[in-house]
Chain A
Amino acid sequence: MEDKLQSWSDLWMKEDWWAIWFAAILTIAVYVGIITHVPKIGKWETNPLNAIPLEIIFPVLTMLVGIGLMTTVGMILMKENWKKYIPGFTVIFLIGIISYIFAHQTTIKAWGISYAIWALFFGLLISNTIGTPDWLLKGARSEMFIKTGLVLLGAEILFSKILKLGAPGLVVAWIVTPTVIIFMWFFGTRWLKITSKQLVIIIAAATSVCGVSAAIATAAACRAKKEELTLAVGMTMIFTVTMMIGMPALTKFMGISPEVGGAWLGGTIDSTGAVVAAGALLGENAEKVAAVVKMIQNILIGFMAFVVAVLWVAKVDRSEDGPKPSLMEIWYRFPKFILGFVLASLIFSFVLMPVLGGDEVAAILEQTKIFRGWFFCIAFVSIGLESNFKDLASQLVGGKPIILYIVGQSFNIVLTLFAAWLAFGGILFEKVF
């Protein structure tokens, strides 16, 4: 039985392992200097051509070919149809470039409408109008792209840095967050009786941890449906923009101090960029506290993904009257890319940071974070191409996911305000400023 459960060939036959290899190849290539500059699409205001000036066209095309070749080798070794993958991948990458161009328009950027939303949108627009042709679907390896992006993301989660940031931030970020997740889990599964537990946990992670990135990691860890991730990401983006505008106004209206207000914003607004934007409106101190609290929350992505993956394999996916799975079976079914994610984080935090120092690690991450963005971007284009509005509507199940989000976020807002007052209001700790 156990022989059947795993084989050495899994290392080159399974997508999960390939996600780790792809991320490792790219990171090592950056570290040893083979890749010195990963191109990114520029900002523009009125002329979209400014986003792709002549000097970056060749690097972008080189990256397209490079990532295409690397993933094609993986496809060949996984015995997948690589000949049909190449044209699909190429067009998906080009749609990814268009998504980035839209996201980098100055006004769009200031509103926080990220490439992930544009990529999803363009994918959905194609699949729901002309329909996604079969040849294009062959290149839509959304899971492979997401998992590779997640392993690269792991490197950016630096424990050593976050641990230095201190106790007040930890109180707000690490006590409230698990409480909100547990509350939303029970509210979603027991009260609202949402049948898809994956959908509940993705919405809970997105609401309480850090929006889109937490949703992606959790969805991959519990093998959620693409439509469930799409719904969670869409909802998160809408509420993030709303809260980015509404929360600073509410903080001012309630006369809350900048430090407590900053911690409140950092603990409640989903995405990091929106947290900084909202905090900046309350002043420099509020911006700093908000960003630090959100940074400490960011680290929970890894814990969250790991715990969800174990829970799903050991408990949720198991039939109620089925036998308790052995450790070997849990290992077999455990999504291996999560190991890559956690390992990347540990290596960067506790090996590379002390050995290479902050500046060199920063230089590596400056490049790998761009790769991570491209992988997430083409993953969302792929998800959009594979989804349709009918399937998305079926996920809404009478608006229950929206109720779950609103009730969970309201609970989060109240609890975080209390924790922020305790930690940053001079009650448990000295005031920071």
Chain B
Amino acid sequence: MNESIQLPESWKRVLFLGLGMVSTVGVVIALHFFSPWLPGTAGAVFKNNMEQNINAEALLYTEVGDVKEFLNQETGRYGIDLSMSISKAAKKP
């Protein structure tokens, strides 16, 4: 006789949701502990992002840092002047 335990469908669904949440937390914990040990460029990128506090998740330039830094040419972090005209093109020897 096969008397395997049958969970109601609604219970199964809640169980899957719970498993999904637990797995997600597990992945975050694993990433947190293993990332510093990663070799190669992946490890280097991660360490550099952590050390320099780079917001790698930024969707737009305004999320990379303080907006003021971008709007002030004097102190602008990325406010470098690249405004050269084509007439100033490098003269080849």
Give A residues with C-beta under 8 Å from B. 45-46, 102-103, 105-116, 121, 125-126, 129-131, 153, 156, 158, 161, 164-169, 210-213, 244-246, 248-249, 271-274, 276-278, 280-281, 288-289, 291-292, 294-295, 298, 353, 358-359, 361-363, 365-366, 369, 373, 376, 426-432
List chain A residues, Cβ under 8 A from B5.
none
Bound complex: CA A48 to CA B28 (Å): 12
Nearest CB in chain B: distance from A420 CB, A: 13
Q: Is the CB of A274 within 8 A of B88?
A: no
Secondary structure class of chain B's binding surface, majority of residues: helix
Out of B13, B32, B68, B78, name the residue touching A107 (CB < 8 Å): B32
Interface residues of B in 1-47 (CB under 8 A from A): 10, 13-14, 16-17, 20-21, 24, 28, 31-32, 35, 40-42, 44-46
Q: Residue on A with the closest CB to B40?
A: A249
Give B residues with C-beta under 8 Å from A. 10, 13-14, 16-17, 20-21, 24, 28, 31-32, 35, 40-42, 44-46, 48-50, 52, 54-64, 66-68, 70-73, 77-78, 80-86, 88-90
Q: Residue on A with the closest CB to B47?
A: A110
Residue among B31, B48, B80, B90 with most chain A CB within 10 A? B80
List chain B residues, Cβ under 8 A from A426.
90
Out of A125, A273, A363, A376, name the residue touching B56 (CB < 8 Å): A273
Bound complex: CA A272 to CA B63 (Å): 8
Nearest CB in chain A: distance from B26 CB, A: 13
Q: Is the CB of B60 within 8 A of A105?
A: no
Supposing A111-B46, A292-B78 touch, asked if A211 and B84 sit within 8 A by C-beta, the answer is no
List chain A residues, Cβ under 8 A from B44.
248, 281
Q: Is the CB of B17 within 8 A of A126?
A: yes
Bound complex: CA A116 to CA B58 (Å): 11
Q: Residue on A with the closest CB to B42?
A: A245
Q: Is the CB of B21 within 8 A of A125?
A: yes
Nearest CB in chain B: distance from A299 CB, A: 10
Q: Is the CB of A112 within 8 A of B28?
A: no
List chain B residues, Cβ under 8 A from A167.
82-86
Bound complex: CA A384 to CA B56 (Å): 23
Q: Is the CB of A169 within 8 A of B82?
A: yes
Bound complex: CA A158 to CA B14 (Å): 47
Q: Is the CB of B71 within 8 A of A429?
A: no
Bound complex: CA A274 to CA B28 (Å): 19
List chain B residues, Cβ under 8 A from A430.
84, 88-90
Bound complex: CA A364 to CA B28 (Å): 34
21 examples of A-B residue contacts, CB within 8 angstroms: A105-B28, A105-B32, A108-B28, A109-B57, A110-B54, A110-B56, A112-B56, A129-B17, A156-B61, A158-B71, A164-B83, A167-B83, A278-B45, A289-B80, A291-B61, A292-B80, A427-B89, A429-B90, A430-B88, A430-B90, A432-B82
